[in-house]
């Protein structure tokens, strides 16, 4: 059930309305200044007229979508996430760049310098790495988190890093702007529930075999927990093809945009696993209407501790950024 509020209501009026609805047995989530969504308790025997009689209520609509908060029905306009003036999901192209793993201060410094000068807005790097083998490098942990936080800030970039557990999320939250949830954890519901309690925007990656419905429902877990700032990231799915590491599903971008108001980011690095294909698929992602790109780069790509085969060089990155800007300019006209 969606409750549209009268314009310009006082804080007290809205609060007492929420209190009353909660008392009536509904789980109420506030969406922006003018909407309340009743996400549970809606099977109660209360008729529309009863809601309309409440002070401050302008209109009542029943929500057909299973996504009470993420759907276009509950919020028609795009969600724009604003982090200190950097907007994600508005008109600008949001580029996240950096190494797969944080390896050293020198490595991150070099990446930050290039990312900033080419127009990227965020520096990425993994400090807790979800490696297939337990014998491979697992990441620098908290030391890496502090490093990326400091270097990103020094260069006027946002920081992005992956967390794999509730403990890691709480540990990283004070240092990191955007917490990434990796493909392997997209349906880790206890983790998603905790992320709802945090203030940090969340970059939620699609799993290897996650349907669009399951993906949006995973975001719904974070939204209903009270964190409205979620961006979805298409990063390739597993198919029968072996030439590429994954199959980058660009249909996900317009399809998810029909289903949800949340910003959609594309990761052509994990999406292909092949360095030579990354710039081309990044261009395609911008052309298909993605709000942003996540790309892995490194001062010496072949020496990357993880994901070397998909990591691009600085010169490739700089060239790609020029192409992305040109395509994005054209896209603005549509
Ligand atoms: C990553 O971004 O380095 C990563 C491990 O991504 P994914 O979860 O998409 O595999
Ligand atoms: Mn990686």
Substitution site in 160, 180, 237 for ligand 1 pocket (most atoms within 8 Å of beta carbon): 180
Lowest mean pLDDT among 4-8, 111-115, 214-218: 4-8
The CATH number of domain 81-331, selected from 3.20.20.70, 3.40.50.620, 3.40.309.10, 3.30.160.100:
3.20.20.70
pTM: 0.96
Q: Ligand 2 centroid vs 287 CA: distance in angstroms?
A: 24
Q: Ligand 2 centroid vs 275 CA: distance in angstroms?
A: 12
Lowest mean pLDDT among 20-29, 34-43, 235-244, 258-267: 34-43
Whose CA is closest to atom 10 on ligand 1? 183
130 lines ligand 1 (CB under 6 A): yes
Give the residues across from 230 on adjacent strands: 202
In this structure, which ligand is nearest to the CA of 271?
1
Tell which residue, 207, 249, 196, 254, has the closest CA to residue 69.
196
d(CA 248, CA 208): 10
Residue 42, pLDDT above cutoff 70: no
286 lines ligand 1 (CB under 6 A): no
| pLDDT: which is higher, 46 or 117 | 117
> In a 10 Å sphere around its CB, with 0-12 CB exposed, 13-18 middle and 19+ buried, how is residue 171 labelled?
middle
- Please state which architecture CATH assigns to domain 2-61: 2-Layer Sandwich (3.30)
Which ranges in the chain belong to alpha helices (H)?
A: 11-23, 48-52, 105-118, 142-154, 166-172, 189-195, 212-224, 252-259, 268-272, 278-287, 314-332
d(CA 220, CA 109): 36
Q: Is the dihedral of CA 290, 252, 163, 143 positive or negative?
A: negative
- When pLDDT is averaged across residues 49-78 and rounded to a whole number, the result is 92
Q: Ligand 2 centroid vs 295 CA: distance in angstroms?
A: 9
| 306 CA: nearest ligand 1 atom | 3
| 180 CA: nearest ligand 1 atom | 2
Residues of the chain with CATH 3.20.20.70: 81-331
Contact 178, 164 (CB under 8 A): no
- When pLDDT is averaged across residues 195-201 and rounded to a whole number, the result is 98
Residue 306, pLDDT above cutoff 80: yes
Residues of the chain with CATH 3.30.70: 2-61
Encode pLDDT of 95-116 as tens digits. Answer: 999 999 999 999 999 999 999 9
Whose CA is closest to atom 6 on ligand 1? 182
Whose CA is closest to atom 1 on ligand 1? 100
Q: Is the dihedral of CA 182, 186, 187, 193 positive or negative?
A: positive
**From the centroid of its chain, how far is CA 160?**
10
Encode pLDDT of 219-267 as tens digits. Answer: 999 999 999 999 999 999 999 999 999 999 999 999 999 999 999 999 9
Residue 43, pLDDT above cutoff 70: no
147 to 103, 144, 169, 262: CA distances (angstroms): 10, 5, 16, 29
Q: Ligand 1 centroid vs 182 CA: distance in angstroms?
A: 5
183 lines ligand 1 (CB under 6 A): yes
| 185 CA: nearest ligand 1 atom | 8
């Amino acid at each position: 059930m969606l409750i549209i509020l009268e314009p310009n209501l006082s804080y007290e009026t809205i609060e007492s309305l929420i209190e009353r609805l909660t008392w009536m047995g509904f789980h109420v989530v506030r969406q922006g200044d003018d909407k309340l969504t009743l996400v549970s308790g809606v099977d109660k025997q209360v008729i529309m007229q009863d809601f309309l009689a409440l002070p401050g209520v302008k209109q009542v609509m029943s929500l057909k979508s299973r996504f009470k908060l993420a759907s276009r029905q509950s919020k028609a306009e795009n969600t724009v996430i604003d982090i200190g003036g950097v907007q994600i999901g508005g008109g600008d192209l949001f580029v996240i760049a950096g190494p797969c793993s944080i390896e050293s201060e020198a490595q991150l410094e070099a990446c930050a310098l290039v990312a900033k000068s080419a127009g990227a807005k965020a520096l990425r790097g993994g400090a807790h790495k979800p490696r297939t083998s337990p014998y491979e490098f697992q990441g620098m942990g908290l030391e890496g988190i502090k490093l990326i936080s400091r270097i990103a800030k020094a260069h006027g970039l946002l920081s992005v890093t992956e967390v794999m557990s509730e403990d890691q999320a709480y540990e990283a939250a004070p240092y990191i702007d955007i917490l990434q949830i990796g493909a392997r954890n997209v349906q880790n519901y206890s983790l998603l529930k905790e992320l709802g309690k945090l203030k940090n925007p969340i970059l939620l990656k699609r799993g290897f075999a996650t349907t669009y419905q399951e993906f949006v429902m995973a975001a719904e877990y974070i939204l209903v927990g009270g964190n409205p700032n979620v961006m979805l990231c298409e990063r390739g799915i597993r198919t029968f093809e072996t030439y590429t590491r994954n199959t980058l599903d660009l249909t996900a971008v317009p399809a998810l945009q029909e289903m949800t108001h949340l910003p959609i980011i594309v990761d052509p690095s994990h999406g292909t696993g092949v360095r030579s294909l990354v710039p081309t698929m990044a261009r395609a992602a911008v052309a298909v209407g993605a709000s942003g790109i996540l790309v892995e780069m490194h001062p010496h790509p072949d020496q990357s501790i993880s994901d070397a085969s998909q990591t691009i060089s600085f010169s490739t990155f700089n060239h790609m950024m020029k192409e992305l800007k040109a395509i994005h300019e054209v896209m603005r006209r549509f």
